[in-house]
């Protein structure tokens, strides 16, 4: 099976280097490593002379918001053009376990969306992360399935899909049709992708042994700095699917007095004059 790994990048170069190292030391190397630079001119320097060789393609930033949906589509197009049978998407924060590609390839089937467990790493030690220590350091996400190696859990809840680490065959990618590029900035595009996949008859499987280790970086809980993105992308999702995604965040924002829900129109808006 011809395997491509696709990673969108904007900054976080140290994370990209460790991901690249994880692919190099994995049990199965990808046939293609497509790195999609979102307005980041330094990515080619970061990946130069690395193994496996990285092909860097560029996707411009739109209105100051990262075009994650467009970047994943562009990476998939390049991988398919190169002959990939299996597309594996990894966020730049994610370091693949040595068995990730093999487990995804073993589980791959037409009409299936594959998700591997993602375990979260503590803050980076002064000497940096060491690949061999990652399994002992990482903690599985408490709200996502984490089956043991060799176990595949079928019929997963598409609402739990996440784009940090997932895989699907070229056939299934074409069946789904890719990500909706109207989403820009933070949030919503992966929920939309899962809804589109479900509507297309695609099942979600959780793949044990396809672990990825999420490198630590500062986060805001709730993500107040993404408030406008969440409102804009959430409204787009509501228009397309009839319901709001990211309700947990929206309710947290409401408790903080940052947004208000209008039940008559089922809309969420920033607080301010006239609200």
Would 233 be classed as within a structural domain?
yes
At residue 41, the pLDDT reads 95
Same domain, 191 and 229: no
State yes or no: pLDDT of 63 exceeds 60. Answer: yes
Q: What is the number of other CB atoms lying within 10 angstroms of the CB of residue 164? A: 17
DSSP E strand boundaries for 130-273: 139-140, 152-153, 165-169, 203-207, 212-214, 259-262, 267-270
Would 90 be classed as within a structural domain?
yes
* Residue 12 half-sphere exposure toward CB, CA atoms < 13 A: 22
From the list 230, 233, 144, the residue with the least C-alpha distance to 192 is 233
At residue 127, the pLDDT reads 78
pLDDT classification of 209: cutoffs 50, 70, 90: very high
State yes or no: pLDDT of 275 exceeds 60. Answer: no
pLDDT digits (tens, 9 = 90+) for 187-197: 999 999 999 99
Same domain, 73 and 151: yes
At residue 110, the pLDDT reads 97
Same domain, 153 and 231: no
Same domain, 45 and 180: yes
What percent of the chain clears pLDDT 90, i.e. is strictly above it? 90
Same domain, 7 and 121: yes
172-182 mean pLDDT:
98
How high does pLDDT run on average in the chain?
A: 95
State yes or no: pLDDT of 186 exceeds 60. Answer: yes
Same domain, 127 and 233: no
Q: What is the CATH number of the domain that holds 168?
A: 3.90.550.10
pLDDT digits (tens, 9 = 90+) for 71-118: 999 999 999 999 999 999 999 999 999 999 999 999 999 999 999 999
DSSP structural state of residue 181? T
Would 275 be classed as within a structural domain?
no
Would 33 be classed as within a structural domain?
yes
The answer to whether the Cα torsion of 172, 174, 176, 179 is positive or negative is positive
pLDDT classification of 273: cutoffs 50, 70, 90: low
Same domain, 85 and 190: yes
Same domain, 32 and 165: yes
Same domain, 192 and 84: yes
Same domain, 207 and 251: no
Same domain, 56 and 81: yes
Domain that holds residue 237: 224-270
């Amino acid at each position: 099976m011809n395997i491509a790994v696709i990673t969108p990048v904007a900054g976080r170069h140290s994370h990209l280097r460790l991901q690249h190292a994880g692919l190099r030391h994995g049990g199965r190397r990808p046939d293609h490593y497509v790195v999609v630079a979102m307005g980041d001119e330094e990515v080619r320097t970061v990946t130069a002379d690395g193994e496996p060789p990285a092909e860097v393609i560029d996707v411009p930033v739109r209105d100051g918001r990262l075009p994650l949906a467009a970047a994943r589509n562009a990476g998939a197009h390049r991988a398919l053009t190169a002959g990939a049978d299996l597309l594996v998407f990894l966020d730049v924060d994610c370091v693949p376990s040595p068995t990730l590609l093999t487990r995804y390839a073993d589980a791959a089937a037409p009409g299936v969306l594959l998700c591997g467990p993602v375990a979260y790493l503590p803050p980076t030690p002064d000497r940096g992360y060491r690949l061999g220590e990652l399994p002992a350091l990482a903690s599985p996400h408490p709200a996502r399935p984490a089956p043991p190696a060799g176990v595949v859990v079928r019929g997963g809840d598409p609402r739990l899909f996440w784009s940090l680490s997932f895989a699907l065959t070229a056939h299934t990618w074409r069946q789904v049709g890719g990500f909706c590029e109207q989403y820009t900035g933070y949030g919503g595009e992966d929920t939309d992708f899962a809804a589109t996949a479900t509507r297309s008859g695609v099942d979600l499987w959780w793949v044990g042994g396809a672990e990825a280790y999420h490198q630590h970086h500062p986060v805001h809980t709730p993500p107040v700095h993404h408030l406008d993105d969440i409102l804009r992308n959430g409204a787009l999702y509501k228009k397309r699917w009839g319901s709001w995604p990211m309700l947990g965040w929206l309710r947290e924002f409401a408790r903080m007095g940052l947004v208000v829900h209008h039940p008559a129109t089922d809309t969420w808006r920033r607080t301010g004059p006239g609200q």
